[in-house]
Amino acid sequence: MGKPYASRGKIAAAWSRLGRPNREHMAASALRVPYWWVAALMIAFAGWQIMMDPFGFSTLTQRYTQDISNLLITGPYLYPETGRDKISVALIEEDTLHTLQMGWPWNYGAHARALDSLLALHPRAVVVDLLFVDQRKDDTLTDLAGEVRRYREAGVPLYFAAATDVPEGAPPLRRELIAAGARMVDPTTLVNQGMTRQYPTEGLCFGSKPADGICRSLALTVYRDLYPDQPLAPLKSKMEIVWGMKTNLDPAFTRWLTGGSCSIDMPFLHRMWLAFFDPQSVRNHCPYTSYFPVEKLMMGDDDKDVAAMARGRIVFYGASLEGVQDKSFTPVNGLIASVFVHAMALDNLITFHGKPEQDVATIGPVTLGSNPAQVLAIIPVILILSWLHMGDVRRRAKKPKGAEHEGAGAYIADKLASFAWHMLAFALAMGAGLVLTLTLGLSVANWVEVVFVSLVVGGMLLFSIPDAIWGYVHHVATGAPREEPS
């Protein structure tokens, strides 16, 4: 009958220690914190931080970091130019309408003439980024349908963007064009907090039956058709677009651009300095993909520069007109015509040989979302930091009492060690992130939180927070400092 009373006494004592702990006992216990406790507590904290995304701050920070990284590092210095000279854009703009004295919308015949002029320049393929969906009376529709046939006879693939939100039963493209054999693609783009950073990997089928059974979005469909020797990687979820910034500065390609420069050539430190005060100041005014005004096509003159931008290239035919609202905000250009989003997505696919950066990591048959991948990536970082921290705990445990009153040299050395500690956490996390990018193609936005959380973990270890929690918990549970190991 004595045991329940004894247990009750222990619980009452623990309850008492919970409110009024013995600080000396706690401090003694904290110096004997076990490794598994430090590691487990830090992993739990990091996991919570990564998975919970409180107030969306993590997502915001990640995406902004992606933008800054693209604007300052990957865009101007790292993104290869592999795909740049394989894609062009032919653009209808306000100036096009003004020069040709044509109103908007154009009739089908005008588009047919522009496309025919383009065909005469021998492009590799043409993607029409205009929606021909509304039923309107226009006798020239047969001209455009005839142009579809002309492309087919010339062996030049011609794709048409098709509507994705038409009423049930309505065709996504004029029936006459479908009947002529127009190939339809899904032109959906993605907007995240107003910015275009991602691109869909899948789209609507529009009645087609691809060999692999997966209907792809516009850029992926074009890539799959035109680059069969570099097949698409198994893509899950979304593409993360890396925006190129090195516009081709050959005067032939930029001769109609006046009043500014397309050059982004400046030393890295200068770029960082400007961006420190205003990131917008280092954006590029010119799109990465070469483009030419459609009126150059309509003029029919033998313009060698336009011919060079069309011959053998995949040409996107689109428009950038006020009030048509087909514009997108990008991290490196600001507001530009959405046709450049498709062009850049295709450029990414060509440059990365069908394995673009993504927001998921695929390891064998397993596909991990960015959060689980980040939790997995941070575990080795935490294990290393915790192991190093244990060495510090052991040193403190062995230090004789009163030794804390040391000279200025020791004080400075201690602060330097703290700084080095944070840098180590940063370096380890950066290393883990780069491994994720290089091996699994995970975008910077999807691992950068590992860096932030590692810095927080490093700070928590610096302030011995896991040790203090252990000291408190151990003291409350047992009432006495843990015995010295023999």
Partner 1 sequence: MTRKLLLVTAICLLPLPAAAADDACANIAGDVVLSARTPEVDLYDAPNGKRVNTVKRGAFPACLAIASRAPNMMIQVTVNGRLVWVPPHMVNARLTGKKPAICRNLAMGRDDSKVGATRALGEDCPTQQKGKP
Interaction between residue 250 and partner 1 (CB under 8 A) = no
429 conformational bin, left if phi > 0, alpha if psi -120 to 50, beta if neither: alpha
Range in contact with partner 1 (rule: CB under 8 A) among 92-100, 345-353, 415-423, 474-482? 92-100
- Nearer residue to partner 1 within complex by CB, 333 or 358: 333
Least distance from C-beta 192 to partner 1, angstroms? 18
Nearer to partner 1, 321 or 381 (CB): 321
| Interaction of residue 102 with partner 1, rule CB under 8 A | yes
Strand pairing of 183-185 and 158-161? parallel
With beta carbons less than 8 A apart as the criterion, state whether 89 and 296 touch: no
Tokens 């400046």, residue? Answer: 266
How many whole angstroms separate alpha carbon 479 and alpha carbon 477? Answer: 6
To partner 1, the closest distance from the beta carbon of 121 in angstroms equals 9
Stretch near partner 1 under the rule CB under 8 A, chosen from 3-11, 328-336, 375-383, 401-409 = 328-336
Secondary structure element (H or E) that encloses residue 420, with its range? helix 408-440
Please compute, for residue 421, the number of CA atoms within 13 A of its CA located in the half-sphere on the CB side: 23
In the chain, the N- to C-terminal Cα span, in Å, equals: 36
Sign of CA dihedral 295, 298, 301, 304: positive
Minimal CA–CA distance to 42: which of 395, 359, 482, 463?
Answer: 463
Rounded Cα distance between 459 and 449, Å, is 15
Measured from the CB of residue 292, what is the shortest distance to partner 1 in angstroms? 9
Q: How many residues form the binding site for partner 1 (CB under 8 A)?
A: 55
Q: Cβ of residue 419: shortest distance to partner 1, in angstroms?
A: 39
Q: Which is nearer to partner 1, 106 or 470 (CB)?
A: 106
User: Which is closer to partner 1, CB of 42 or CB of 133?
Assistant: 133
Q: Smallest distance, Å, CB 140 to partner 1?
A: 5
Give the residue carrying structure tokens 């500690």.
421
Q: Which of residues 138-157 bind partner 1 (CB under 8 A)?
A: 139-140, 142-143, 146
Angstrom distance (rounded) from CA 22 to CA 476: 9
Distance between CA atoms of 229 and 223, rounded to whole angstroms? 10
379 interacts with partner 1 by CB under 8 A: no
Q: List the x/- string, 44-83, binding to partner 1 by CB under 8 A.
A: ----------------------------------------
Burial 167-183, CB ≥16 within 10 A → b, else e: eeeebbbbebbbebebb
Q: What is the DSSP string of 25-74?
A: HHHHHHTT--HHHHHHHHHHHHHHHHHH-GGGHHHHHHHHHHHHHIIIII
Q: Which is nearer to partner 1, 311 or 355 (CB)?
A: 311
Site string for partner 1, 255-294 (x = CB under 8 A): -xxxxxxx-----------------x--x-xx------x-
Other CB atoms closer than 10 Å to residue 109's CB: what's the count? 17
Task: Check: CB of residue 332 under 8 Å from CB of residue 75.
Answer: yes
Q: Would you state the structure tokens that stand for residue 77, as one six-digit string?
A: 């210095």
Site string for partner 1, 104-143 (x = CB under 8 A): xx-x-xx-xx--xx--x-------------xxxx-xx-xx
Interactions with partner 1, residue window 292-311 (CB under 8 A): 293, 295-301
Interface segment toward partner 1; rule CB under 8 A; list 98-106, 363-371, 429-437, 461-469 = 98-106
437 is a contact residue toward partner 1 (CB under 8 A): no
Q: Indicate the residue among 269 and 335 with the shorter CB distance to partner 1.
A: 335
Toward partner 1, which CB reaches closer, 139 or 484?
139
Q: Min. distance of Cβ 143 from partner 1 in angstroms?
A: 5
C-beta separation of 148 from 182 below 8 A? yes
What is the smallest separation between the CB atom of 277 and partner 1, expressed in angstroms? 17
Smallest gap from residue 296 Cβ to partner 1 (A): 6
In the complex with partner 1, which residue's Cβ is closer, 132 or 452? 132
Comparing CB distances to partner 1, the nearer of 136 and 399 is: 136
The Cα 306–Cα 308 span in angstroms is 5
CA angle centred on 109, ends 105 and 111, rounded to 5°: 65
Distance CA 181, CA 327 (A): 29
- Using CB under 8 A, pick the residue from 323, 364, 365, 409 that binds partner 1: 323
CB 305 within 8 A of CB 292: yes
- Residue 100 binding partner 1, by CB under 8 A: yes
C-alpha span between 150 and 114 (Å, rounded): 13
The interface region with partner 1, picked from 179-187, 204-212, 316-324, 416-424 by CB under 8 A, is: 316-324
Residues that bind partner 1 (CB under 8 A): 93, 95, 99-102, 104-105, 107, 109-110, 112-113, 116-117, 120, 134-137, 139-140, 142-143, 146, 170, 256-262, 280, 283, 285-286, 293, 295-301, 321-325, 327, 333-336
